[in-house]
A and B are shown apart, each in its own frame.
Chain A
Amino acid sequence: MNDGPLIVQSDKTLLLEVDHPAAPEARKAIAPFAELERSPEHIHTYRLTPLGLWNARAAGHDAEQVVDALLTWSRYAVPHALLVDVAETMGRYGRLRLEKHPVHGLVLSSLDRPVLEEVLRAKKIAGMVGARLDDDTVAVHPSERGNLKQALLKLGWPAEDFAGYVDGEAHDIDLAEDGWTLRPYQRAAAQSFWDGGSGVVVLPCGAGKTLVGAAAMAHAQATTLILVTNTVSARQWKDELVARTSLTADEIGEYSGAVKEVRPVTIATYQVLTTRRKGIYPHLELLDARDWGLIVYDEVHLLPAPIFRMTADLQARRRLGLTATLVREDGREGEVFSLIGPKRYDAPWKDIEAQGYIAPADCVEVRVTLPDGERLAYATSDPDTRYRLASCTHAKIDVVRRLVRQHASQPTLVIGQYIDQLDEIAEMLDAPVIKGETPVKERQRLFAAFRSGEIGLLVVSKVANFSIDLPSAEVAIQVSGSFGSRQEEAQRLGRLLRPKTEGRSAHFYTIVSRDTVDADFAQNRQRFLAEQGYAYRIIDAGDLTPDPS
């Protein structure tokens, strides 16, 4: 028996005892190949997945290192079958290589002939490859580069892509580090991406992913296409790039529903690219509009399926994915891996929080009891409408009022799912509300006012979930969410995680109705928070500071 901090389970989970003196070292050793699944207070759970192991292979780790790390830090004997499996899985990566052949162009070559034979016999692959050049090499149509990688991953033989990238149209981009500097992890993330060629950088919300993107652009020195989730986010990217780089506003174009500019740096929304008219995507030509040297995908975990298909055709260009989490609610992590690239950098929330770059958050669940009348209505209602009934109870409005009063001096966001409820709350609190129908101009005006401190209270619907930088928010009150989506919880918490002045901690309140589906969903979301290491408290609405009125 070895007194290590790690316990390797036969179901391929790794348990890391956080309070163990050797835990930090062990964490460092396993982080490259194991994915952190949850990180509650005492024991963190990592999981060994094929994707994780391949990510490690792509980052230059070999099976021996992985096995060695497991054996070194494991408290008990490591199940033999697991070690064999690790070695086997890792051995699968890189047996096939996509390369540039001086004569034949793009080729798929193999270091292991039987593997090549096996994949060539797969029906899916057959249509993507051309003539067999010799025993170990087969020609590949350049247009199938992405599809082939995707198909090979599905077959369990992920190919390593050595075919290189086009440089793209050169364009001078420098970081303008006047009065600020890149944080060490941002610099490391950008460097690690550049060394790897293409891939995904995982950083928590509020950790400054935009700057990682800017740093990557400075590396590329080429025209860049940035794909973002929505228009507001696009404007923020633009503002940030103008402020932090040598780029001027004229060099940055916006390609959205409203404006269609193509400039050396173009920021496009997912929505406009995926707009479909008569079965075709009219805005797809944007991707070929310039000789892009770099494509940045913001919030890559939200990448819609059509973008994946388009990305498959862009394999010759460098691709940078930015995200807070690799977890996709639709389980398409494999496509991110094969089409955008392996994970190039990852830093857990808590680590960055410990370094003081994001504010610690105090998560509180406030439980309200439905009034008898509503409870009866809830009990007798249709299952489809129950969640809405439970989340929109009037009891919550009273709690919101009390919480807002409690944090009167702090900038506060009230976040919800249902517009009626938000309107009601806004009316009661006499606060502006931002919802889907609010024009972008108005939205921006309100956000700007909130940022400047002009408005201390904002009621927002889910349009605010993504990429709207509200660094001044200190309190968030969530009155309803979309059915317990974990990813949404991360985003909402992210709104608050920007560093606060005077080191104040942020407050995140979730109001849930007791004994209803609302509480069940809340439990799901909180499990995610607890897994991320945020201890949360539960209080009863009755225990809040009583309403003075």
Chain B
Amino acid sequence: MLDALLVAGQTTSEGVISIVRADEARTARALQRLLDLALAWEVPGGIRALTGVADAMRGMPAGISGLRPSSPEPASPEEVTARLAGLSPAAMALLRHVDAHGGEGTTGSARRTVSPDQAATPAEELISRRLLVPREGHTVVLPGEVGLALRGGRTTTEPVDQVPELATSSRDAALVARTAAGAAFDVVRRVELLLDHWGVQPPSVLRSGGLAVRDLKAVARELHVDEEGAALIVEVALASGLIAEGAEPDGTPAWLPTDEFDVWSGRSTSERWARLVDGWLASSRVPSLVGSRDAAGKSWNALAPELSSGLAPEARRLALRVLAELPEGEVLAAGTGIASVVQRIGWLRPRRPTVFSDLVTAALGEAAVLGVSGAGGLPPSGRLVAADDLPGAAAAIDPHLPRPVEQVLLQADLTAVAPGPLETEVARRLHLLADVESRGGATVYRFSSGSLRRGFDAGWSALEVRDFLTSVSQTPVPQPLEFLVDDVARTFGSVRVGHAEAFLRADDEAALAALVHDPRARTLGLRLLAPTVAIATSPLDVLLPRLRELGAAPVVEAADGTVRVSRPDLRRARTRRGRRPAGAVEARQAAQVQAVATAIRAGDRAESSRPSSAEATTPSGALAALRDAIETGSTVVIGYVDNHGANGERVVDPRRLDGGRLSAFDHRADDVREFAVHRITGVRQA
């Protein structure tokens, strides 16, 4: 209606009613409503749309009709019809094409100002007859009056006041309720399973914020669903606030169950379901896009932050509302039902972007998976969801959900079958003692020595295990299972590992026992492992002397079991150099004379071949040599007695000399150092 008004521009009410292809009375009512809403305005010449409306609607896709507003001074319908009649078939085809594709086109090379008889191409023909109006750039638009004429004087070729029918078939209401409840139970179970799993092995958060495809595949495998289903489950968990980005101990970001999850898992199945549905309804997330590709060809990851649309909640509510209109016992037809809902919603909300219909289709699929709808219809619980009464919906679905069971059936093939959802506490304990073999409405557990050992590791005793099994079993515990428990209990801990600093072995049991029980040995941390073996928490070097003090005579055993004899080290002083017997000295000197003479001669030769720079050894000579060096800036070698009395040589560049101290650059220390002059034993040129 509003669309027609915009197309017509300022007109009379009769004028606008006449161009809407619909029942006249209804159209008039719609017009009145527009006037009431002040979206249309009565002006002296008739009525027109409020000035802002056209602007507000611009930018959105063209309205229902796809027509542009008429030109400011439109030709009369008769004239337009006459102009259309004079067109060549090619130009007519072009015009219809433009009309069908949004009323806008580009002219390309067509000239813009031509008279009808000069027109060479269909485009020029149309422009010349003002059936297409040139606009800025190369675009041309189809004015509203031409469009109207093309469509036989109306804005649409199809009537617009007929509500699209829904394709339905009849289905037993009880079946609808059961199917929905089954799906509801499944989704709750899967979310719980997923989050239990993620609580232990969380998947990491991608840098872009989503969940890796590999992790999604793992979820699908774990939950026995396809990837689409897995994406929906993780998205619903996110929408319900049950998962959030957290960090693993090492700091990598990961998807973790929230503390809210713990509260959630403590509630009844129906309440948990209501929470999930609530999250889903209000969420702007679009799980259906996961796996599809964006404009750049990159595929969407589940949980990616961009994966949301403000239209999603509306699409869900509308879809549910349409479903709620179906009478009980009627459901959507198998093949065509969903398409008909999309059509109906397209009629109800004509001005939504095209993706809206995809969202509606997705919403219907999601509703079925979540158990809001079942077999294409809404059960009473689903109707309450559509009416936003979630507590009521939970109460309505509750009787249809499997009752939680507290007991399992234990069987001789070492399996336990829980014929329904187990009480959380029982399930957790059973989970510890047995491995899950099959899941679904029932759960099959298998006991194995490995799984029972896990229980023992967690601190259970054989008696506790047996008591627990007796208490959860509806039937007597099968004998093979009892044997298995005993077998595991028997071997459990048969090898023990511990930490000790030292061990004590003794063949004399009494002596060892006496030692361990000696009050004076208490600090050693002795413990008897066997009559002949004890361990100590004290290290060997503490243990040995203490044991001796206590009167024992311990022997140290090496790692390979050999005895290591250890006696106290005998202490000795270094022999002083004293006079040696004269004969010995003479004999040695005699042996060395030859060598010494050779060395001296060699030294003399070396001396004669070098410019002499005698070492200054007297204090005054040393000082003179140092001053000399300061003036020439040369490097000298000084003999120096350090703080410890050790005599050494340093290579230095003397800088300053006063107060009995030499300040010089020490080459070895690579820094300026102070030297006490009285400790310098000699100076020579380097």
Report B382 CB to chain A, min CB distance, Å. Answer: 14
Q: Which of A42, A80, A530 contacts B480 (CB 8 A)?
A: A530
Q: Does B429 contact A (CB under 8 A)?
A: no
Find out whether the CB atom of A9 lies under 8 angstroms from the CB atom of B413: no
Find out whether the CB atom of A42 lies under 8 angstroms from the CB atom of B411: yes
Q: Which of A15, A17, A77 contacts B183 (CB 8 A)?
A: A77
**0/1 interface trace, chain B 444-483, chain A, CB 8 Å (1 if under):** 1000000000000000000000000000000100111001
Find out whether the CB atom of A79 lies under 8 angstroms from the CB atom of B186: yes
Find out whether the CB atom of B178 lies under 8 angstroms from the CB atom of A2: yes
Find out whether the CB atom of A9 lies under 8 angstroms from the CB atom of B483: no
Find out whether the CB atom of B440 lies under 8 angstroms from the CB atom of A79: yes
Q: Does B415 contact A (CB under 8 A)?
A: yes
Q: Which of A41, A43, A535 is the most central at the interface, judged by chain B CB atoms within 10 Å of its CB? A: A43
Report A230 CB to chain B, min CB distance, Å. Answer: 31
Q: A7-B441, A9-B440, A77-B178 are in contact. Are A515 and B413 (CB under 8 A)?
A: no
DSSP majority for the B interface? mixed
Q: Which of B229, B441, B475 contacts A8 (CB 8 A)?
A: B441
Q: A77-B182, A79-B186, A538-B483 are in contact. Are A8 and B411 (CB under 8 A)?
A: no
Find out whether the CB atom of B419 lies under 8 angstroms from the CB atom of A43: yes
Chain A contact-residue range equals 20 to 34
Q: A1-B400, A77-B179 are in contact. Are A526 and B186 (CB under 8 A)?
A: no
Q: Which of A1, A41, A535, A537 is the most central at the interface, judged by chain B CB atoms within 10 Å of its CB? A: A1
Find out whether the CB atom of A81 lies under 8 angstroms from the CB atom of B226: yes
Find out whether the CB atom of B441 lies under 8 angstroms from the CB atom of A40: no
Q: Which of B183, B402, B413, B475 contacts A527 (CB 8 A)?
A: B413
Report A126 CB to chain B, min CB distance, Å. Answer: 32
Closest to B475 in A: A42
Report A370 CB to chain B, min CB distance, Å. Answer: 14
Report B259 CB to chain A, min CB distance, Å. Answer: 29
A17 to B405 CA separation, bound complex (whole angstroms):
15
Q: Does B225 contact A (CB under 8 A)?
A: yes
Q: A17-B419, A76-B402 are in contact. Are A9 and B412 (CB under 8 A)?
A: no
Contacts of A538 in B (CB 8 A): 479-480, 483
Q: A1-B181, A77-B182 are in contact. Are A7 and B479 (CB under 8 A)?
A: no
Q: Does A402 contact B (CB under 8 A)?
A: no
Contacts of B438 in A (CB 8 A): 9, 11, 13, 15, 45
Find out whether the CB atom of A530 lies under 8 angstroms from the CB atom of B413: yes
Q: A43-B411, A77-B181, A535-B412 are in contact. Are A15 and B224 (CB under 8 A)?
A: no
Q: A1-B402, A536-B412 are in contact. Are A15 and B439 (CB under 8 A)?
A: no
Report A300 CB to chain B, min CB distance, Å. Answer: 26
Find out whether the CB atom of A7 lies under 8 angstroms from the CB atom of B442: yes
Find out whether the CB atom of A38 lies under 8 angstroms from the CB atom of B413: yes
**0/1 interface trace, chain A 1-22, chain B, CB 8 Å (1 if under):** 1100001111101010100000
Q: A40-B413, A81-B226 are in contact. Are A8 and B479 (CB under 8 A)?
A: no
A110 to B520 CA separation, bound complex (whole angstroms):
96
Q: A1-B402, A77-B178 are in contact. Are A40 and B412 (CB under 8 A)?
A: yes
Report B594 CB to chain A, min CB distance, Å. Answer: 72
A7 to B441 CA separation, bound complex (whole angstroms):
6
Contacts of A80 in B (CB 8 A): 179, 183, 368
Q: Does A531 contact B (CB under 8 A)?
A: yes
Q: Does B148 contact A (CB under 8 A)?
A: no
Q: Does B185 contact A (CB under 8 A)?
A: yes
Q: Which of B175-227 contact A (CB under 8 A)?
A: 178-179, 181-183, 185-186, 224-226
A10 to B368 CA separation, bound complex (whole angstroms):
17
Q: Which of A10, A42, A535, A537 contacts B440 (CB 8 A)?
A: A10
**0/1 interface trace, chain B 475-509, chain A, CB 8 Å (1 if under):** 10011100100010001000000000000000000
Report B173 CB to chain A, min CB distance, Å. Answer: 15
Q: Does B524 contact A (CB under 8 A)?
A: no
Q: Which of B442, B478, B480 contacts A9 (CB 8 A)?
A: B442
Q: Which of B420-446 contact A (CB under 8 A)?
A: 420, 438-442, 444
Q: Does A375 contact B (CB under 8 A)?
A: no
Q: Which of A511-547 contact B (CB under 8 A)?
A: 514-515, 526-527, 530-531, 535-538
Report A12 CB to chain B, min CB distance, Å. Answer: 9
**0/1 interface trace, chain A 383-407, chain B, CB 8 Å (1 if under):** 0000000000000000000000000
Find out whether the CB atom of A45 lies under 8 angstroms from the CB atom of B441: no
Q: Does B401 contact A (CB under 8 A)?
A: yes
Q: Does A78 contact B (CB under 8 A)?
A: yes
Contacts of A187 in B (CB 8 A): none
Q: Does A75 contact B (CB under 8 A)?
A: yes
Find out whether the CB atom of A11 lies under 8 angstroms from the CB atom of B483: no
A42 to B477 CA separation, bound complex (whole angstroms):
12
Q: A42-B411, A77-B179 are in contact. Are A535 and B185 (CB under 8 A)?
A: no
Find out whether the CB atom of B419 lies under 8 angstroms from the CB atom of A78: no
**0/1 interface trace, chain A 422-442, chain B, CB 8 Å (1 if under):** 000000000000000000000
Closest to B474 in A: A42
Q: Which of B181, B186, B411, B440 contacts A530 (CB 8 A)?
A: B411
Q: Which of B181, B409, B414 is the most central at the interface, judged by chain A CB atoms within 10 Å of its CB? A: B409
Q: Does B417 contact A (CB under 8 A)?
A: yes
Find out whether the CB atom of A9 lies under 8 angstroms from the CB atom of B182: no
A8 to B441 CA separation, bound complex (whole angstroms):
7
A514 to B490 CA separation, bound complex (whole angstroms):
11
A432 to B444 CA separation, bound complex (whole angstroms):
47
Q: Which of B183, B185, B399, B419 is the most central at the interface, judged by chain A CB atoms within 10 Å of its CB? A: B419
Find out whether the CB atom of B440 lies under 8 angstroms from the CB atom of A527: no
Q: Which of A43, A77, A78, A514 is the most central at the interface, judged by chain B CB atoms within 10 Å of its CB? A: A77
Contacts of A535 in B (CB 8 A): 412, 478
Q: Which of B185, B400, B417 contacts A42 (CB 8 A)?
A: B417
A527 to B480 CA separation, bound complex (whole angstroms):
10
Closest to B473 in A: A42
Contacts of B414 in A (CB 8 A): 527, 530
**0/1 interface trace, chain B 80-109, chain A, CB 8 Å (1 if under):** 000000000000000000000000000000
A320 to B86 CA separation, bound complex (whole angstroms):
84
A31 to B667 CA separation, bound complex (whole angstroms):
100
Contacts of B409 in A (CB 8 A): 17, 42-43
A9 to B185 CA separation, bound complex (whole angstroms):
13
Q: A76-B182, A538-B480 are in contact. Are A11 and B412 (CB under 8 A)?
A: no
Find out whether the CB atom of B442 lies under 8 angstroms from the CB atom of A515: no
Q: Which of B340-394 contact A (CB under 8 A)?
A: 368
Find out whether the CB atom of A45 lies under 8 angstroms from the CB atom of B440: no
Closest to A75 in B: B441
Contacts of A75 in B (CB 8 A): 402, 419-420, 441
A80 to B375 CA separation, bound complex (whole angstroms):
10
A15 to B409 CA separation, bound complex (whole angstroms):
12
Q: Which of B556-575 contact A (CB under 8 A)?
A: none
Find out whether the CB atom of A9 lies under 8 angstroms from the CB atom of B225: no
Q: A40-B412, A41-B412 are in contact. Are A8 and B185 (CB under 8 A)?
A: no
Q: Which of B656-686 contact A (CB under 8 A)?
A: none
Contacts of B403 in A (CB 8 A): 1
A10 to B185 CA separation, bound complex (whole angstroms):
13
Find out whether the CB atom of A43 lies under 8 angstroms from the CB atom of B417: yes
A518 to B52 CA separation, bound complex (whole angstroms):
89
A45 to B420 CA separation, bound complex (whole angstroms):
15
Report B514 CB to chain A, min CB distance, Å. Answer: 32
Contacts of B439 in A (CB 8 A): 9-11
Q: Which 9 A-B pairs have the closest CB atoms?
A: A77-B182, A9-B440, A76-B441, A530-B413, A40-B411, A7-B442, A42-B409, A530-B412, A10-B224
* Interchain residue pairs with CB less than 8 A apart (6): A9-B439, A15-B442, A17-B419, A45-B444, A75-B419, A76-B440
Q: Knowing that A11-B438, A17-B419, A74-B441 are A-B contacts, what are 13 other residue pairs whose CB atoms are under 8 Å apart, sorted by A's residue number?
A: A1-B403, A11-B440, A15-B444, A17-B409, A76-B185, A77-B179, A79-B224, A80-B183, A515-B487, A531-B413, A535-B478, A536-B480, A538-B483
Q: Which of A's residues lie within 8 Å of B, judged by CB?
A: 1-2, 7-11, 13, 15, 17, 38, 40-43, 45, 74-81, 514-515, 526-527, 530-531, 535-538
